[in-house]
């Protein structure tokens, strides 16, 4: 198959950077970010997907695009891609769309993005990962300050997935037409509670760490300081009202990559320096 040019939007994020890494040697890779930040293995490109007109030139000469969900003018962006000659798009969505309530803000923006991709006229693949293992890095400041980590939803198990596995599946979907027209649910190999993930870090760091469950009212106040209230409400609907079961394990990653999905311990061993 001839070498292709792939553009990775959000290339400095946890998943986008892994997509770039997984595409190494597959042709030219362009890394799109608002500031055109350098990403190893890619040509940096500056652009804001929130400004359709300004970003339109970046699609020229591109064969395939990795696109995170959530941009309000996704249909317009996709139309511009098609007009510029893009043939394939891989969308990063979420498993919450399956059976999700459109009144839920997080579910809705992902459902809308998926619909835009399916209606775009481009070959498409949708990735629906579970919670990211890299979210554990949010506990790093607490671990630098002491041995106690506070987390919300401490009783909720999640089949967390390594962003590197998402990146590897995305790279295949961006270069392999056999995955076109598929929506892929991606998870890690096991569902873990926050305390179980912290126990892995404690073992690797050789420290006596303890999880302090964050009460719901405190979690809601803290989260509202960091994100719009409709998104905070969405997470409480997922994990307190039971609108999303993120504990279900699938075999999609090993089926597609021919190896086991990476465990949380394997992820933590690679990223232990962050803690």
- Note whether 32 and 56 are within 8 A (CB): no
Residue with tokens 């098609």: 82
Asked whether the predicted pLDDT for residue 244 surpasses 70, the reply is: yes
Q: pTM for the whole thing?
A: 0.95
Read off the pLDDT of residues 135-191 as tens digits, 9 standing for 90 and up: 999 999 999 999 999 999 999 999 999 999 999 999 999 999 999 999 999 999 999
How many CB atoms lie under 10 A from the CB of residue 250? 19
Whole-number pLDDT of residue 241: 93
Q: What is the mean pLDDT of residues 29-39?
A: 93
Domain 4-130+163-187+248-261 has CATH 3.40.50.300: no
Whole-number pLDDT of residue 72: 83
Copy the structure tokens of residue 273: 């320096």
Domain extent listing, the chain: 4-130+163-187+248-261
Half-sphere exposure of 271 (CA within 13 A, CB side): 22
């Amino acid at each position: 198959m001839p070498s292709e040019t792939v553009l990775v939007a959000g290339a400095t994020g946890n998943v986008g950077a892994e997509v770039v890494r997984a595409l190494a040697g597959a042709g030219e890779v362009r890394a799109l970010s608002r500031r055109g930040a350098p990403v190893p293995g890619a040509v940096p490109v500056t652009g804001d997907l929130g400004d359709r007109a300004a970003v339109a030139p970046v699609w020229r000469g591109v064969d395939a695009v990795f696109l995170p969900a959530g941009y309000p003018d996704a249909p317009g962006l996709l139309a511009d891609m098609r007009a510029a000659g893009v043939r394939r798009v891989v969308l990063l969505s979420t498993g919450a769309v399956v059976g999700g309530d459109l009144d839920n803000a997080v579910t809705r923006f992902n459902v809308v993005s998926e619909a835009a991709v399916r209606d775009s006229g481009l070959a498409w693949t949708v990735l629906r990962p579970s919670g990211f293992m890299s979210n554990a890095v949010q506990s790093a400041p607490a671990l630098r300050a002491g041995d106690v980590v506070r987390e919300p939803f401490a009783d909720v198990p999640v089949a967390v997935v390594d962003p590197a596995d998402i990146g590897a599946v995305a790279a295949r979907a961006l270069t392999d037409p056999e995955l076109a027209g598929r929506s892929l649910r991606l998870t890690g190999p096991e569902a873990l509670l926050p305390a179980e993930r912290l126990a892995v870090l404690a073992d690797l760091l050789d420290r006596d760490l303890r999880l302090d469950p964050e009460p719901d009212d405190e979690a809601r106040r803290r989260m509202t300081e960091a994100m719009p209230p409709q998104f905070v409400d969405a997470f409480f609907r997922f994990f307190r009202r039971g609108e999303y079961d993120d504990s279900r394990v699938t075999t999609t990653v090993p089926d597609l990559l021919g190896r086991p999905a990476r465990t949380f311990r394997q992820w933590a061993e690679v990223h232990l320096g962050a803690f």
